[in-house]
């Protein structure tokens, strides 16, 4: 996720838009210093819902508590689902590490 954040940062600064990349763990510390929050989305659901990376919900809650506008963005090329269930979305399975083998002996 950090690679996508840095790519977005480079594209925004190249377009003349001042921005800062902030780690999830530092969001509440800097929230009073920002004008708005942008996060990416992994997919869009027909109802208008977004499938985001872990941490986006917590960032949205912190932004709401601080009365800071929160925007979740999606490229036109992201997957679009008519319906979505927790068992129907598998985009993150590639990032789950394999089980650790048992040590015997």
- pLDDT tens column, 66-79: 999 998 877 766 66
- Classify 94 as helix, strand or coil: helix
36-60 burial, b at 16+ Cβ within 10 Å, e below that, comes to ebebbbbbbbeeeebbbbeebeebb
Q: Is residue 27 part of a domain?
A: yes
Q: Is residue 93 part of a domain?
A: no
Q: pLDDT tens, 17-34?
A: 888 888 888 889 999 998
**According to the model, what pLDDT value does residue 39 have?**
82
Tell me which residue of 90, 100, 99 sits closest to 42, measured CA to CA: 90
Please determine, for residue 105, whether its predicted confidence score (pLDDT) is greater than 90: no
Q: Is residue 58 part of a domain?
A: yes
Q: Is residue 2 part of a domain?
A: no
Q: Is residue 75 part of a domain?
A: yes
**According to the model, what pLDDT value does residue 29 have?**
93
Q: Is residue 6 part of a domain?
A: no
**According to the model, what pLDDT value does residue 95 have?**
44
Q: Is residue 17 part of a domain?
A: no
Residue numbers of the domain that contains 60 = 22-83
Please determine, for residue 45, whether its predicted confidence score (pLDDT) is greater than 50: yes
How many separate domains does the chain show? 1
């Amino acid at each position: 996720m950090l690679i996508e954040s840095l790519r977005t940062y480079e594209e925004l600064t190249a377009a003349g838009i001042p921005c800062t990349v902030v780690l999830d763990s530092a969001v509440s510390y800097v929230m009073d210093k920002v004008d708005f929050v942008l996060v990416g989305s992994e997919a869009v659901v027909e109802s208008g819902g977004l499938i985001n990376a872990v941490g986006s919900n917590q960032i949205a809650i912190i932004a709401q508590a601080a009365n800071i506008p929160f925007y979740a963005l999606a490229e036109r090329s992201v997957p679009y689902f008519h319906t979505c269930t927790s068992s129907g979305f598998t985009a993150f399975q590639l990032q789950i590490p394999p089980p650790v083998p048992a040590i015997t002996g």
